[in-house]
Each structure stands twice: as structure tokens, then as C-alpha cells.
Amino acid sequence: MRQQTAGSDGLMQHIGRKAASMRSLWRGRAERDAAFQSSAYWQERYRQGSNSGPGSYGRLALFKAEIINRFVKDRDIADVIEFGSGDGAQLALADYPCYVGIDVSASAVALCRRKFAGDPGKIFLEAGSAQSDDARADLAMSLDVIYHLVENDIYESYMRRLERSAKRFICIYSSNVELPGHVPHIRHRCFTDWFAKNAQQWVLSDYVRNRYPYDVADPTETSWADFYVFERQPVAVTIPFGS
């Protein structure tokens, strides 16, 4: 993975500039419909045969695969768990030793089980199942998911499950700014603030800017998402004086 020091002034300035540019794009957008349910939206979308969206196809998918595959190899990752595995299009480009994909859509899970039926190193589970709740891996991933979690309680439970599942690293590919979306199933979140408040043992260690930054004139071949990798820090053990 192409690395930038997470605490560098250049990185933080870039994130600030990106947030400002996104705010200019979404200024004046209305807040979401309070009745909208993200899980129901994705369940129905996959049930009707729609796919995971343009971020899982074409040059964006190739870019994501390049970055993640390199990271898995360089960091000697033994297993990967992904929350929001979708239709499996992105996974088809992956090179992981072992993989667990979790999704809220039973249709998406069934689709991936059929698509990868000949690969025993890939397992697909429905979110909320006992097996998915117990799953852990060296690397936990969230790709193009967080900005689709429009409800606060769903976002909070998702982040806690993502954090709990990771043994060594958490990889997030998403926007990272608080903004309403331009459609009902999008709401941008500043997830780095969530980590600072709720999971301080995870430190932002790697950051990769998108090779194809968002362009309103070309929304299907560009993205507002960047890569953020968090690494678990060892817990300090206090030994009582004189023991």
C-alpha cells in the first residue's frame, strides 16, 4: 500500500480540502427521508437483480483491488472479513488467503455462494447471524459502505461490529466528512471522528488518495472515497510498583 504518515500536516490538509470541496458540491441538499431504511433498500435492490454499483466495476474496482491485494501480501494477512460484500464483483479481483463476506441482503449472499461455490476459501454469511457475529480476521474491511449507512443506530452498530471483528487492521474505503447525500441511500460520515471517540486503540496508519477523485461530470468512473487503514495498538499494561 502506498503510504502517507497519518499524522502529517500534508495528509490532514488534504482531508480538509477534500471535505471543503464535497461541501460545495452538496450545499443545499435536503436531509434524508426519516422513513428510509438502508437495509431494506439493499435487500430489495439485490432481490431485483441490481448490482453493487459502479465502484465495484471498471477502473475503480481495479484500483481498489490493486491497493488491497498489495496490502494483504505486504502485511502477511492470513484472513479477511468484509462487511458489505455485495454481489461479489469486487471480490472476483481479490487475492486473499481466506475470506468471509457478510451482507444484509440474503439475495446478495445467495448470489455470492453460487458465484464462488468452487472456492472453499470464501464464506458468505447474512449480517446478524450467530456465525457472522462471531467471525474475526486479521483484516476487517468496509468498501463503499459507510456512506450508505444513513441511520445513526445502524451506523453505530456497524462501526462497532467492524471494529470488534478485526485482529490487526481495519481498512475503510469511503468518504470521510459529515454531509447529507444527494440521494436517499447516501449520507457521508466522518468515521475518523468515530475512531477518535470510541476506539482509540486503533490508529490511522495508512492513507491512499483515490486515483480517480470525484468528478461531477463523470460520477460512475470517479469516487469521493479514499483508503484509510487503522492498525491496532498494543494495550499498555500497568505493573504496580513493588510487585
pLDDT tens-digit readout, 56-82: 999 999 999 999 999 999 999 999 999
Q: How far is CA 9 from CA 4, 98, 213, in A?
A: 10, 36, 20
For residue 183, being part of any structural domain is answered with: yes
Asked if pLDDT for residue 231 goes beyond 60, the answer is yes
For residue 167, being part of any structural domain is answered with: yes
Choose among 217, 237, 220, 212: nearest CA to 67: 212
Structural domain tally of the chain?
1
Angle in degrees, 0-180, between the axes of helices 106-115 and 38-47, rounded to the nearest 10: 40
Phi-psi region of 53 (alpha: psi -120 to 50; beta: other; left: phi over 0): left
For residue 164, being part of any structural domain is answered with: yes
For residue 242, being part of any structural domain is answered with: no
pLDDT value of position 28: 45
Distance (Å, whole) CA 8 – CA 14: 10
Asked if pLDDT for residue 218 goes beyond 70, the answer is yes
200: phi then psi, degrees, rounded to nearest 5: -70, -10
Average pLDDT, the chain: 87
Q: Say if residues 71 and 3 touch (Cβ distance below 8 Å).
A: no
Q: Say if residues 100 and 82 touch (Cβ distance below 8 Å).
A: yes
**In terms of residue numbers, what domain contains 194?**
9-25+37-232
For residue 78, being part of any structural domain is answered with: yes
For residue 103, being part of any structural domain is answered with: yes
Mean pLDDT, residues 214-228 taken together: 95
The tens digit of pLDDT for each residue in 139-198 reads: 999 999 999 999 999 999 999 999 999 999 999 999 999 998 888 888 999 999 999 999
CATH number at residue 71: 3.40.50.150
Mean pLDDT, residues 212-220 taken together: 94
Q: Say if residues 89 and 56 touch (Cβ distance below 8 Å).
A: yes
Distance (Å, whole) CA 91 – CA 85: 8
For residue 57, being part of any structural domain is answered with: yes
Find the helix or strand (DSSP H, E) in which 39 lies: helix 38-47
For residue 240, being part of any structural domain is answered with: no
Q: How far does Cα 27 stand from its chain's mean position?
A: 25
pLDDT value of position 181: 81
